[in-house]
Structure formats: C-alpha cells, structure tokens
Structure 1
Amino acid sequence: MEVLNGMRLFVEVARTRNFRRAADALGMPNSTLSRQIAELEKAVGLRLLHRSTRKVELTEAGEVYFKRCQSIVEEALSAHEALRDVATKPGGTLRVSMPVDLATGYLAPILSDFARTYPLIDFEFDVTPRRIDLQTEPFDLAIRIGEPPAAPSMLVARPIGLLPRYLYASPGYLKGAPTLKHPDDLAYHVMCVGQGATKQPDGSRTLHRGDETVTVVTGTRFAMNSVGLARAFAKLGVGIAVLDDVLAREDVASGQLRRVLPQWCLAPVPVHAVTETRLLPARTRLFIDFLRARWEGVAGV
C-alpha cells in the first residue's frame, strides 16, 4: 500500500505540474506532499522531478515512471471504487464543463433527472465555452460540441448524440432581405453563426434535402462562440442564424423567428463527452451512460 500511495501522490504532482494544486486535490498539506515525494525518489534511487520556485518538470526517469504509474493508479482507484459501489450507491462530486447554450437548452432536464436518480452525487458545473485542460484542471469530463479534440492524444471522446442544425430569421429581416427560395440565395444574406455550426475551411456550407445536397459560399459577418447570441441577433433582425429546433422552438411559436428554407438542413453536429482517461469512476460512467440514453428523447435526432 505504501508503494501504491507513493505512486498516487507522484501521479497527481506529475499531472498538475504543481505541488500546491496537487496537494489541494489530494487534501493534504503541501509540505507533507513534498516530503513524501522526496521519500519516493529516495526509495527508487532516482530523481523524478525538477523543482524550481516557478514550476515543476519531470525528469527523463520521471516521464518513464509517470507513464507506467498513471495506468496502475487509475486501475487501482477504479477497482476500489467499484467495490465501494457494490456496498453503497455512487457518491462523491461530479465535475463537468459544458457550453452554456447546450447546458440550458438541452442538458438541464437530463441533469435534473440524473440528480434525482443518484441523490448521493454532488455536482460542480463549469458552464462556459472555455476549453478547459482536463490534464491540469480538476474536471471529470467536458461536454463538447463538434468533432472530438485531436490533441492531446490521451484524451478520450465518447459520442453522446447529434445536434440538428436549421436556418432561422426574423419576419422583419426576411421582409427587407433579398429573396430566399434556394440555398444558393444565402450568398446574398447576412449570417450570424454560433458555436458548432458546420462550415468548411473555404467558408462554404453544405445543406441537405433528402439525398440532395447543395454547397454554397456564405459570408459570415457575425461569428461567435455562443448560439444564444446568434439567436438573439436573429430575433433583432440582424441576419440568419444557424440554430437547432429545440432552442428555436419558443421563438418560432411566438412569431419572433421563422425557419427559412424549411425543407433544407445542415448536417447534424456531434456532441461528445471528453475525459482524460478510459478508466472512469462509477459516477462518471453512469453520467455518460445516462446522457446517451436520454439524449435522443431531448434532441429528437
């Protein structure tokens, strides 16, 4: 147990590259952590970390040791939690980062149902478009819209579902705008594009109608990382927004927005749960499975 505990402490320091953050995550004094890491280095007979007042870096031996220890520690913790879950219901704190529009528009009812199903789990939600660093920040997972991240290579992206994408504009905008009867007409319109909208590198977008596809180059005067802001601009008559039908439903019902080119749509955008490792605590695994199971009922894709 002493060896495994030393590995666990070392892995946390190596992961965060910071003694103080590691000590906070482990719930122990910084001085105690530093002393135990020094004892571990003495036991293995090699220096594992380069320490300075500004940062902590792994030595060559430390890099090798970290790669081996990380999987060992994760497997041990996973096994320990699995045994604990046999005797008790899943508990602890689940830390999730997610975009605000996705959280409020889609995930809120799913999160509420999950909380009722597992009353011993507490939650910390980081609702922001900011791309968190799962290797150095204390999150269990991040929910992200779009293609899974290509780097760093150790991240694991699990598909949750798909977000449909349609075009919406206000009656006022459409009244004064050029004719819009075919996707080619979009070249003469103002686009307000939020996070997750499908756009090719050359600025073109492909719309679908059954088996038929049309690719058109559109100008995007307003690009942003918020679907909510794109929706607000569309209601104000600024331009055409790329939205999903769930977020636009109330505005369509109230007459503030109208779906344009209603027979056409953009390709759905994937949503993923991204984690740092494949070995997950029970509460994280349950949460991802819960999202997958409930997603289709909410998104309707």
Structure 2
Amino acid sequence: MYDLKELEAFAVVIRSGSLSLSARELDLPKSTLSRRIRQLESSVGQPLLRRESNQLIPNEAGRVFYKYCNEMLVLAQQGSEALNELRENITGELVLRSHEAFIRGWFAQVAETFMTHHQGVNIRVHTQTQAPSDQADGVCLWLGDPGESPLRQELLGSLTQGVYGHPDYLNARGRPQNPGDLGQHTWVDLLGNQPGSPALTLHHSRHGIYPLQPPVSCLQFDQYCLQGDAIVRKQGLGLMPHWMVERRLQAHPGTLELCLPEWRGPSLPVWLLYPHGSLPRRVRAFLSHVRNSIPQGWCDRHAA
C-alpha cells in the first residue's frame, strides 16, 4: 500500500517540476521531500522522475503512475469526506456563488456566520453576473430569472422595486408627479434594458399598469451597486430594489429618495440554485442556514 504523503509529494513535484517550489508548497524541507520521492520509487520498484534542464520531469513510468496517483489521492479525499459526514462536525470545502446584488454585506455575513458555527468548513465565495450553468458541489444565490438550468431552483422570496433619485437632483430637476414625468429626467439603467427591448411596467394599486419606456440611458451598468452609486452621484433616476436601498440608507442616510411612492416596478425573484440528488452534509447545512437568514424585507415567496 502506498503512503499518501509520498503520493502527494510525487503529484506536487510533477506539477511544479521543482523540488524547491514543491517543498515550499508543502511546507517541507527539501530533504524530507526527496526522501518521500525515493521511498515511493522504492515501493513501485523503479524510477519515476528524471532531471532535464534543471527540472524534474516524469519518465515513461512516472507519466503512467501519475494518472493513478491522482486517482488514489482523489479517492482518499472522498473517503475522508464520507467519514466526516458520519461525525457530528461539518467539515470540507464549500463553494458558494452569489448574484452581485447580494455579495456586498448580506451574503458575506451569512457565510461568515455559518463559519462561526462550523469552523471545520473552508468556504470559497464567487461573485456571479450570470446564472451558473453548473454547480457540481455548492450553492448559488440568484436574483431574477435564472433561465434554463440543470440545477434545482428553490424560490426564497422576491424584491420589490421603486424609482429613486438623490434629493439634491430632485430639488434641482423637480420631482415627478406621475410616470409620464419620468421622460423629462435622465435615466440610470442596468444593462439589458435597452431601447427597443420590452417596456418596463410600473404598477399602482388603483391605476393599474403603466408601461414605462425610459429615455435613452446616459449611463448603464451591469451591477446594482454601480447603478446605485451613479444615482447617489446625482446622475439621474433609476429603478432599484427597495431592500437594497434600505441597506444603503442605513450606512448613508439621506442619499436616496423614493419617487412616485405609490408606483412600484416588477418584483425580482430570489432563488437558491443547487444540484439535484444527494448533497454533502455541509451543503445541506448551509441551505438550512440561508433559509433561516432570509431578511424581513424580502416578500413572501408566493408573491414573486
């Protein structure tokens, strides 16, 4: 039976081609690393590496063995994780992805809170500007329509929207009294709401639906935080989720004002995306953690 430390040493040397670099990566003395390589070669009964131009490269036997070496290391890791599933502690690596609208502040806090309760988990967080097409082992929080996806889609709630501007901009340009007045203002938009695309609609409890075709945007962004920054810099009016504005106002009071408060834009659904089938315990635990952390500002999931 091969020693896992020797297999790991061999795999790292193959990838780096250098004993010095491999020793630093593994945090080992070069002498210890060399000894593990020699012991592995003794176990397999033949040399696996040769030196060429100051690099260590695999010989024919090394190339053949490297494939099986990787498979043995992967199986060992999977076996360790499977055994950890039987223990009370939740461990392993958790890959999280989040729509950019949630990544600053709220989602990071959710991930940090989870780690305080499960310190054996290693979390990697990625910002998403497009819905993921694959999520082999992890969770994605998404805002809006995720489109066609092989992932399971769980609706968490929805964000209502309204038209916002900076108070100084509104004092200078005037406050719109009805949706028709918006055509007189500069519009700060998100990419995708292009001229000629289906019109946005504003909703009123008594007056019904108003199809809104904003003027050609002088500024368009692919992120809500950048759109909000532009509105705060008095560049114009824009449609933003109320929940995001409320969080911004907690940190920067008085920087945004709701226009046409009785009119609201389309609601944006909030989704959890994750693989079908049996999930690792750490993924199941994080899904439960997110469900228990849904903000009060999100509408009931049936309202999306």
Could you list the per-position Cα deviations for residues 77-106 of structure 1 after superposition, in whole angstroms to 9, with x for gaps in the alignment? Answer: 89x84x743432221111112133311143
CA deviations 1:112-140 (Å, max 9, x no partner) are 322223222221111242555526xx762
Match of 1:224 in 2: 221
Secondary structure at 1:87 match in 2: coil
1:182 corresponds, among 163, 178, 182, to 178
Q: Residue type of the partner of 2:239?
A: V
C-alpha separation between the residues in 1 aligned to 2:141 and 2:195? Answer: 23
Aligned to 2:266: 267
Contact 1:97 1:139 (C-alpha < 8 Å) held by counterparts = no
Task: Kindly indicate whether residue 139 of structure 2 is the aligned counterpart of residue 141 of structure 1.
Answer: yes
**From 193, 197, 200, the counterpart of 1:205:** 200
Map of 1:150 onto structure 2: 148
TM-score (norm 2): 0.63
Matched, 1:238 2:251: no
The 3-state SS of whatever aligns with 2:228 is helix
Instruction: Report the alpha carbon displacement of residue 260 of structure 1 after superposing the two structures with TM.
Output: 0.8
Provide Cα deviations, 1:12-37, integer angstroms capped at 9, x if missing partner.
xxxxxxxx9xxxxxxxx985574699
Asked which structure has the greater CA Rg, the reply is 2
| RMSD, matched Cα | 3.6
For 1:162, the aligned partner's letter is: S
Instruction: Kindly state the Cα deviation for residue 259 of structure 1 after the two structures are TM-superposed.
Output: 0.9
Quick one: distance in 1 between partners of 2:63 and 2:298?
46
**Kept in 1: contact 2:110–2:293 (CA 8 A):** yes
Q: 1:229 to 1:158 in 2, by over 3 A?
A: same
C-alpha distance after superposition, 1:207-244 (max 9, x if no partner): 22336332222235133211111111101111112222
The answer to whether the aligner puts 1:287 opposite 2:280 as a matched pair is no
- What letter is aligned with 1:232? D
The one of 211, 218, 225 aligned to 1:215:
211
Paired position in structure 2 for 1:193? 189
Q: Secondary structure at the match of 2:245?
A: helix
Match of 1:88 in 2: 88
Instruction: Confirm or deny: 8 A CA contact 2:159 2:243 kept in the other structure.
Output: no
Give the Cα separation in 2 of the matches to 1:101 and 1:122: 23
Where does structure 2 lack aligned partners over 5 or more consecutive residues? 1-14, 16-61, 71-77
Aligned residues of 1:169 and 1:240 also touching (Cα < 8 A): yes
Within-5 A mapping of 1:1-301: 31-32=64-65, 34=67, 81=82, 84-129=84-129, 132-134=132-134, 140-151=138-149, 154-177=150-173, 180-194=176-190, 202-210=197-205, 212-221=208-217, 222-249=219-246, 250-251=248-249, 254-297=253-296, 299=298
Change (3 A) 1:300 1:30: farther
Q: Greater CA deviation, 84-93 or 162-171?
A: 84-93
Cα distance in 2 for residues equivalent to 1:265 and 1:198: 17
CA distance in 2, matches of 1:113, 1:134: 26
Distance, in Å, in 1 between the alignment partners of 2:100 and 2:157 is: 17
Task: Give me the TM-score of the superposition, normalised by structure 1.
Answer: 0.63
Please state how far the C-alpha of 1:169 moved relative to its aligned partner. Answer: 0.3
The count of residues paired between Structure 1 and Structure 2 equals: 230
- The structure-2 alpha-carbon separation of the partners of 1:119 and 1:217, relative to structure 1 and needing over 3 Å to count, comes to same
- CA–CA separation in structure 1 for the residues paired with 2:152 and 2:130: 18
C-alpha deviation, 1:205, in angstroms: 1.3
Match of 2:138, as an amino acid? Answer: D
What SS class does the counterpart of residue 166 from structure 1 fall into? strand
Unaligned regions of 5+ residues in structure 1, if any?
1-19, 21-28, 38-76
Partner Cα distance (2:179, 2:120) in 1: 51
Identity of aligned pairs, percent?
17
